[in-house]
Structure 1
Amino acid sequence: MTETVPSAASVPRAPVLPTTQGPPRDAWRLTGDLDDFLDRGGEFLRAEPVLHTVLLSVSTMLRERGLQVYGGGVPLFGTYVGSDGAVRGAFIRTPPHRVALGPLAPGAAEALARQLAEGHPDLPGVASERATAEAFARAWEKRTGAAVTLGMRQRLYRLGTLTPPVPAPPGRARVATAADRDLLARWHEEFGEAVGHGPGMEPYAWADSRIAYGGATLWETPDGTPVAMAGVTRRIAGQVRVAPVYTPADLRGRGYGGAATAAVTRAALDAGAAEVLLFTDLANPTSNRLYQRLGYRPVGDFAQWDFTATATP
């Protein structure tokens, strides 16, 4: 894995959307142009890469694989700019998925909800740091009348000192190759179903993207049968994120997922990552205990909210 991000020369540039004219003030600047977004907000995101890990990995994937990699809709990007010109917040929306927000002050989250409600009333939800997500959801509810429901609650962890499982289950780790494409695609789809939502990318597109940079590691038994998978994002601003970790239901409880996670974590450290992160579902105490035993320590809580439009009489 390297920090080199493929050129965006081939990515089509969209016009920057007009912003409100008048005296300088804190305001959201919206754009459909990925390069404009990264030119304005890239340094801000990289200044706190742990808290902005999702925005960094999503924007990197968009540059590498094209603006429709997460779906057929047109992505929307935004930066929250202070009256002094400094960027203080950012978001990415890749239809048909939730808007992904970096941590924000409540007023900035509420201002974004009001602004998006005017031109993008079809948002299915929001994902962000817990307080930011709730502030946005409540403002969306007030502005649109939509029903807002708390969905998955997550915890972000960062690696302290890696402590591999002892004893490890029989077998070994290996990086997935093109020969594993069908397996990766199937497991990626099964993972999405297991956590209660569909895959963020088309399964084969996801498999191809991970194979391209060695971003998926398999744990296989001594006879060479794959039994678990642990993925890892590209290294960006010194950090990577382990995602997803998946073991088929009939193979769980044997330590395969923990072994795969430890292996992919060690590989990331050996490749030069300064930070290794992962998200867990707070409704799954087993996985939270596992990752803590491996040496991961909590950073903060995140949440996903779902929006449902209220039927018009």
Structure 2
Amino acid sequence: MKKWRNMDVSVEVNKIRLNQGRWEKMTVFTYNSPLEYESRVQSFLLENEAMHNLPLGIIQRMKTDMGRFEKEPVLGYLDHLGEIKTVLMRTPPHMWILASHIELSDQDINILVHFFKDNHHPVPGMIGASDNVTRFAEAWKKAVGVEYEVHMKQKVFQLDEVLTHQKSPGHLIKATEDHAALAREWMHAFGQEANVVHSEDELNEVVERLLNEQTLRLWVVDGEPVSMVNQSRNTPNGTTVSAVYTPDAHKRKGYATSAVAALSQELLGEGYQFCCLYTDLSNPTSNGIYQKIGYKPVGNSMVVNFI
């Protein structure tokens, strides 16, 4: 399997001429080196670290586990007079990440549309701040004649301190190889709930990695696992909680809340300054329970697929 190389160069790939017939000082830069890229975009992303946990986490992974990425990522940002307007990145075959804590202008969106078109970049979907993603989706639809669908509306939460709460019976344990079959079953069910389809090979690879990295946790009651939670990607100062799942037979008993609270406390105790997570806005229950244990909203995110 061919892997991409970490080249120690950066390249300006595009400068867009606008319809007014003049050169605008706006440029999309792309980088071949994650280290060089990080040095340019990290301070921008850290202005809202929890909201930008996805691109920050991916950059961290690139520095430590390049072999995870089978195809060369696109690592870019939109520059205006030396200032970053938005970070954009993609790790094929996944969707584009549009990371910015500022509202992009119509001109910014236009530049991005031209960048994708002129460089023949596939655009299967996009995730990022809701307003910016919505406006890009409309512009892309108009420019290339494709439709899009909103896959999920999300809220990003950040926790700095776990609040006192009513703990459910049970305790948190690290999942081991003995739990591999259960982990595969629950990760598959979690994907179905999130409307994300994984092949059997992908599922096996994910579970094997989580068990090897010892990030997967189970909430256990009387020796029986009843809920699941995972520590996902890290940012420079924080970490992400993900894959929160409880099978139907054990729902509405507070197990997921207790599992997330216990893992969050464990991670803060290890020295992380904060934990963050995504929630599905269509599920008001999960949005409420996380706030009870100390998670606070930091922004809205949206996932769109182009069809």
Into which bin does the TM-score normalised by the smaller protein fall?
A: 0.7 to 0.9
Q: Which residue of 2 aligns with 1:101?
A: 98
Give the RMSD, CA atoms, in angstroms. Answer: 2.7
* Amino acid in structure 2 at the alignment position of 1:116: F
Runs of at least 5 residues in structure 1 that lack an aligned partner in the other structure: 1-9, 309-313
Partner Cα distance (2:67, 2:28) in 1: 21
Q: Secondary structure at the match of 1:283?
A: coil
Q: Which residue of 1 aligns with 2:113?
A: 113
Q: Secondary structure at the match of 1:19?
A: strand
Show the 5 A alignment for 1:213-252: 213-222=213-222, 224-252=223-251
Shift of 1:17: 5.1
Q: Which residue of 1 aligns with 2:72?
A: 74
Distance change in 2, residues 1:132/1:248 (3 Å): same
* Amino acid in structure 1 at the alignment position of 2:13: T
Shift of 1:135: 1.9
Distance change in 2, residues 1:120/1:178 (3 Å): farther
* Amino acid in structure 2 at the alignment position of 1:95: P
Partner Cα distance (2:110, 2:238) in 1: 29
Partner Cα distance (1:286, 1:272) in 2: 29
Say if 1:235 and 1:273, in contact at 8 Å, map to a contact too: no
4+ residue runs of structure 1 moved beyond 6 angstroms?
21-24
Distance change in 2, residues 1:136/1:74 (3 Å): same
Q: Which residue of 2 aligns with 1:4?
A: none
Partner Cα distance (1:60, 1:199) in 2: 24
Q: Which residue of 2 aligns with 1:3?
A: none
Q: Secondary structure at the match of 2:301?
A: strand
Q: Which has the higher mean CA deviation after the structures are superposed, 34-43 or 99-108? A: 34-43
Show the 5 A alignment for 1:104-183: 104=102, 105-106=104-105, 107-120=107-120, 122-159=122-159, 161-166=161-166, 168-183=167-182
Partner Cα distance (1:46, 1:210) in 2: 26
Write out per-residue CA displacement over residues 192-232 of structure 1, whole angstroms, 9 at most, x where no aligned residue: 1111112599223323433344322210112x221111112
Q: Secondary structure at the match of 1:196?
A: coil
Shift of 1:32: 4.5
Partner Cα distance (2:14, 2:171) in 1: 57
Say if 2:50 and 2:157, in contact at 8 Å, map to a contact too: no
Write out per-residue CA displacement over residues 152-177 of structure 1, whole angstroms, 9 at most, x where no aligned residue: 100111125423541x3322111223
Aligned length: 294
Percent identity at matched positions?
24
Partner Cα distance (1:182, 1:154) in 2: 29
Distance change in 2, residues 1:57/1:212 (3 Å): farther
* Amino acid in structure 2 at the alignment position of 1:74: E
* Amino acid in structure 2 at the alignment position of 1:94: T
Partner Cα distance (1:215, 1:109) in 2: 38
Say if 1:156 and 1:279, in contact at 8 Å, map to a contact too: yes
Shift of 1:257: 0.9
Shift of 1:68: 4.8
Q: Which has the higher mean CA deviation after the structures are superposed, 285-294 or 186-195? A: 186-195
Partner Cα distance (2:163, 2:52) in 1: 26
TM-score by length of 1: 0.83
* Amino acid in structure 1 at the alignment position of 2:5: P
Is the strand fraction higher in 1 or 2?
2
TM-score by length of 2: 0.85
Q: Which residue of 1 aligns with 2:273?
A: 274
Say if 2:116 and 2:122, in contact at 8 Å, map to a contact too: no
Matched, 1:91 2:84: no
Distance change in 2, residues 1:21/1:283 (3 Å): closer
Partner Cα distance (1:60, 1:246) in 2: 26
Distance change in 2, residues 1:11/1:141 (3 Å): closer
